[in-house]
Structure formats: structure tokens, C-alpha cells
Amino acid sequence: MKGRIFNIQRFSVHDGPGIRTTVFFKGCNLRCQWCHNPESYETGIQLEYFADKCVGCRACEAVCPQGARIQDGHRIHRQGCTLCGKCAEACMYGAIAIAGWDLEPETLLETVLKDKKYYMNSGGGITLSGGEPMLQWEFLSEFLPLVKENGISVALDTAGNVPYWKYEKLFPYLDFILLDIKIMDDTLHRKYTGVSNKLILENAKRFIEQGIRIHIRIPLIKGINDTIENARQLTHLLGDAPNVEEVRLLPYHTLGVRKSQSLELPVCEFSPPEAHTMEQLREIFGDKGVC
């Protein structure tokens, strides 16, 4: 079985403790309007075209077996594209990229083992992210035993919108979970992510009861989920569970805007919370709150 990846980030320091390698998996069952990895939405391989990097050299046209053209100044003609990747290989300026490739468990293991000494020296490991890595749980069930045989810590970054029994299959190989909780109000959650939060919150409760180490992550969007009420509802859910080690507050950023444009997806721009709002919210979470 192969896993479909769209990025592997070595020396990552923001996806769990220590130095980590973060593996980003294709496919997501949420559609968060502020998503910073929109190339993760679809499970299929995709062509990204960054018009601001294009210098008009037309090297991509020269190698395209389908006769693609650059139109309207800097707009790629996608019809007939077979995603062969030749245009991306020919582009010297990074204007074209292929989002998604397939790897065997053993091949992915070779990559993550390259930095094993850094994991061991820093208390790091690997983080499974996306997208929603749990949509490829069957691949993970083959890959993670290999990782644990090498004594490497494993973190799972998940939105929690997957049946609990699938998580249970992987618990023996997980050291902790990075659980993204966006909005506590179900109506607002549906509006801004496209899905209900009922399964997410139900799984959060079960993770707490199970006892696995949990780091909560909240992407904060001004005027949407940066309210005192949303934070208080979350603290009520978490209670004083000792296995909830931190609540990390992540202010909105615009890194996903260019990516959405590269895929010709609708662009939604938001704003981060004010600094004083971030501090108020951090205080609500007490010693576990981290900005």
C-alpha cells in the first residue's frame, strides 16, 4: 500500500516538541475557509501554478506532451493536463509544482530516519499532518510500526472528524495527538468548515478518557472564533484533564491565499485577532495556554 503525500518538512519546530519531520498527507474532509494548506483538500494529485513566479520563458510549453499554453499573460491552460510533471521539472523558477506523490511505507521511513539523531537529542520525532492523515489510516497502520521499531516518537495532527475506531487502531503507535478544535458552536462550525463538529467534540472527550497525551490547537480568526465564549466552552470540554498538556493559540495568517490562487480555488481572506484578544484568550486557558 502507498501513502499520498504533498509535503515533507524536515527540521520542523512548530508541530510538537523538539525537532520533528512533519509529513503532510493528501485529502481532508473539512473545508475550512482559512485553510493554509488548500492543496490538501483533494486526494488526487494536482497542478499548482504560481503566476507571480512565472517569467514567461515558456519552458513548460516546450516540454508539455499535451500542448498546454500560458494564457492571459500568466494563466496556465489546464485542460488536457495529465499531471505528468514535466512542466514542473522544466520550470527553473518554481512557478509550477505538482501537489501529491505516492510513497511506500519503507520509502517514507528512509526519509524520516535521516534526522533520527536530531529527534533523539531534542525530544522530537515525526508528526503526521495534512490535510487529514487519518483518511489514510490503513497506510499509517503499515507505516507506524516501522517507525516505532526505530524508537521514534509519533504525533498525530488531526481535526478529529474520523470514526473513533480508526484512531483506536493507531493508538499503540501514537505518543500524543495534536487535536485541532476550530469552533465550539455547531452552526458556526458548519458555516466555516462545511461540517458539523459533533463527531470532533465527541472524539475529543474520548481521547481525554483514553488518557493519550493531547495538545489542543486553535486557529484563531478575528470575529469568528476569537471570542471569550468560545474559549470558555472549550475549557469546559477539557476540564482539568492532566493529559491535555497545552492549548496552543494560532493566529490566522495568509499563507494559504497564494496556494488557493495557484489551484484556482476561491480565496477567502480573514484577519488575525488583536494582540490584547490573544492575551485574554491565553489567560482563560491558564498555565496550559500558549500563544
Fold of 46-99: Alpha-Beta Plaits (3.30.70)
Would the pLDDT of 73 be above 70?
no
What is the structure's pLDDT at 72? 60
The predicted-structure confidence for 9-23, as pLDDT tens digits, reads as follows: 999 999 999 999 999
Mean pLDDT over all residues of the chain?
94
Q: How many helices (H) and strands (E) does the chain have?
A: 11, 13
Q: Which of 4, 266, 219 is nearest to 132 (CA)?
A: 4
Q: pTM of the entire structure?
A: 0.93
Residues β-bridged to residue 213? 176
Residues β-bridged to residue 5? 25, 101
C-alpha–C-alpha distance, residues 80 and 264, integer Å: 16
Q: What residues contact residue 251 under an 8 Å CB cut-off, 6+ apart?
A: 220, 272, 273, 278, 291
Place of cell 499573460: 73
Fold of 3-43+101-290: TIM Barrel (3.20.20)
Q: Which of 28, 26, 20 is nearest to 7 (CA)?
A: 26
Residue spans of the domains in the chain: they are 3-43+101-290, 46-99
Would the pLDDT of 71 be above 70?
no
Q: Is 150 left (phi over 0), alpha (psi -120 to 50) or beta?
A: alpha
